[in-house]
A and B are shown apart, each in its own frame.
Chain A
């Protein structure tokens, strides 16, 4: 083992993470650098692996549900939605209209909250301190709504198979309306700070460019895919859970760079608000839970229930062997697959861009490692 001399030290290998302020959890990226230019990047993941899929096989269908809150803990509501939709399909349970509407409302609230957290950390990584706290201000309002309805802020255990746990508490609708009335002005405020900011544009335009074709090849989904101009939004492409009855636009980017992905998420927040507005306007009365057998025992079969989570296509592939325990629940983790493209995206960029690109992929390590 001879120490490399300074003259040999052309490549510098550094560990970004697992303890690093900008890797959003315990992501570890082994970077090979030439000066500050990235030659190669290798992601080391699994630090948070808890074996959620294995646990699922040892729990009843109902008891699995809380575990999925802990995969993508930023978007716990979406996680719950994907799973309950799958099980309801297998069981052929009819969900009452009110529950369907509330589900969509809460999922969209969750999407906004998740995008807010993304914007906050992404901006912080690029050095915009203030946006961080502005976003948390709004996110707090959403978390309060969650707390009111679900009794928890983060790991919400939001939905139950067949419907909801509880009806909307009194005052909820007014609070929700108040939020969506104020929200557009808030988004404008963030955009004012960033969208036309010379530094922000310099830092994000042309960074991590990926073409639509390549994005599909890499299996990207969600904003990273739409940023490259592929209009693939499961709410539109394969509507689920009643989304086909709502009006909203699917924004797509042109250049597939970090800036476009930023713009798309900003627009998605506005669109989510639009959906929430519609849910509030049409919120029907009636029961919140369909007829659900006491013991959930789907017939032998399998179902892939994909939904558009805030980070991309979140899928639950549920295989039933007819017993009360799932034979297999496979979670198709959007960020796991999106993160795979990191290596491709960062090559040739600078260390500072790695941060911007990790931010733009919006990774949540709880979901990647499961």
Chain B
């Protein structure tokens, strides 16, 4: 009884708590990182006042959001208006339930050390060998990638609902833009992922990483085109420059969140940055070998294993986040119709072509 409870409730709950907290913290410090890096790019310092080099700035900003007045426009649809940010934010968190931060046996050492405090050795073994508890992820679902996609599509709804419920023109335009943009880029994104799935022949993210380990090569070297497309579409999916049209502040004031203030705005904000981390994590998992160290099969580089796998994962994610910010500091913004043209006329055909070529090659060599 105790074991079952541990295996299926306590340990997953603890994992969920850790992941949620870690993601929230990461999001908070991602905003700090962005401000610092943009500062660097733009020959200024970025936040410097709150804490050492502004390290406490995200907390101050968070507090500010919480204590700010929460304004709901008089003619807004109150219920939808209040729910919309949540609709956007929760899917962004849910996605992390299937993202593998480490290998399936990542936690076995830890559990072996902690569990004997409560359990007898036999049950400890049973708990550890149950196969659900030790993974460096909340759950290893065999349709993980589909889950990621379906759930993150729900996030778009939050934006549309928020823009619609504001009952205001700029948010409406922003919402319409983002629905069009995200739907069209999701198509290309799906096709790029399909070509990876063809190579990996599994839908589970954990298995995809393990396949990369077995093959001895990260899929970015197998599917470079797919990766580039994935990254560009990822920029569009997360509403980042150069695709930040839904909230292009110089055109649409604030886009879909123009009417939002205080905590509700903060939740949109968190959702957007969580989205960046999600896309980066998926990119790392699908293309850059997830938690694997560089050259996972080269034996003499074994000392690299001294670095925990989860650190490798985070380091790779960081690189992507850095690129996200770097792009923001460099490029201007597309216009809406151009964005759609690129999406449907360039990225989608490329993604489909890549898929077809992959399929043909696979067929030939299998």
Within 8 A of B (CB), among A59-75: none
Please name all residues of chain B whose beta carbon is closer than 8 Å to the beta carbon of A203 when the two chains form the complex: 332-335, 338
Closest to B168 in A: A14
Query: Which stretch, B17-25, B36-44, B155-163, touches the partner chain A?
Result: B36-44
Contact B43 A137 (CB under 8 A): yes
Within 8 A of A (CB), among B41-88: 41-44
Query: Which stretch, A194-202, A217-225, A301-309, touches the partner chain B?
Result: A194-202
Contact A197 B42 (CB under 8 A): no
Please report the total number of A residues contacting B with Cβ < 8 Å.
Answer: 31
Contact B169 A199 (CB under 8 A): no
Query: Which stretch, A50-58, A122-130, A154-162, A228-236, touches the partner chain B?
Result: A122-130
Please pick, from A14, A127, A134, A351, the residue contacting B333 in the complex, using a CB distance under 8 A: A127
Given the known interface contacts A127-B241, A129-B42, A130-B329, the answer about A350 and B170 at a Cβ–Cβ threshold of 8 Å is no
Given the known interface contacts A12-B169, A36-B173, A350-B337, the answer about A134 and B332 at a Cβ–Cβ threshold of 8 Å is no
Asked whether B251 is an interface residue with its Cβ less than 8 Å from the other chain, the reply is yes
Within 8 A of A (CB), among B241-260: 241-242, 244-245, 248-253
Contact A350 B335 (CB under 8 A): yes
Within 8 A of A (CB), among B331-360: 331-338
Contact B328 A353 (CB under 8 A): no
Within 8 A of B (CB), among A154-199: 193-194, 197, 199
Please pick, from A22, A126, A193, the residue contacting B330 in the complex, using a CB distance under 8 A: A193
Please name all residues of chain A whose beta carbon is closer than 8 Å to the beta carbon of B177 when the two chains form the complex: 36
Please name all residues of chain B whose beta carbon is closer than 8 Å to the beta carbon of A354 when the two chains form the complex: 251
Given the known interface contacts A134-B42, A350-B337, the answer about A128 and B169 at a Cβ–Cβ threshold of 8 Å is no
Contact B333 A350 (CB under 8 A): no
Please pick, from A132, A194, A352, the residue contacting B335 in the complex, using a CB distance under 8 A: A352
Asked whether A20 is an interface residue with its Cβ less than 8 Å from the other chain, the reply is yes
Please pick, from B44, B253, B332, B338, the residue contacting A127 in the complex, using a CB distance under 8 A: B332
Q: Chain A nearest CB: distance from B17 CB in Å? A: 36
Given the known interface contacts A351-B251, A352-B251, the answer about A130 and B42 at a Cβ–Cβ threshold of 8 Å is yes
Q: Chain A nearest CB: distance from B251 CB in Å? A: 5
Please pick, from B252, B332, B337, the residue contacting A123 in the complex, using a CB distance under 8 A: B332
Asked whether A21 is an interface residue with its Cβ less than 8 Å from the other chain, the reply is yes
Contact A202 B338 (CB under 8 A): yes
Q: Give the complex CA separation of A140 and B249 in angstroms.
A: 25
Q: Chain A nearest CB: distance from B216 CB in Å? A: 37
Size class of the contact patch on chain B: 20 to 34
Please pick, from A14, A127, A137, the residue contacting B331 in the complex, using a CB distance under 8 A: A127
Q: Give the complex CA separation of A128 and B253 in angstroms.
A: 16
Closest to A14 in B: B169
Q: Chain A nearest CB: distance from B260 CB in Å? A: 16
Q: Chain A nearest CB: distance from B360 CB in Å? A: 31
Please name all residues of chain B whose beta carbon is closer than 8 Å to the beta carbon of A200 when the two chains form the complex: 332
Per-position 1/0 for A338-362, Cβ under 8 A of B:
0000000000001111110000000
Please pick, from B43, B328, B335, the residue contacting A202 in the complex, using a CB distance under 8 A: B335
A-B contact pairs, 16 of them (CB 8 A): A12-B173, A14-B169, A36-B337, A127-B332, A128-B332, A130-B329, A133-B43, A193-B330, A194-B332, A197-B331, A199-B242, A199-B331, A202-B334, A203-B332, A350-B335, A350-B337
Q: Chain A nearest CB: distance from B33 CB in Å? A: 16
Contact A20 B169 (CB under 8 A): no
Q: Give the complex CA separation of A20 and B251 in angstroms.
A: 8
Contact B244 A127 (CB under 8 A): yes
Please name all residues of chain A whose beta carbon is closer than 8 Å to the beta carbon of B329 when the two chains form the complex: 129-130
Q: Chain A nearest CB: distance from B154 CB in Å? A: 24
Contact A124 B42 (CB under 8 A): no
Q: Give the complex CA separation of A126 and B242 in angstroms.
A: 10
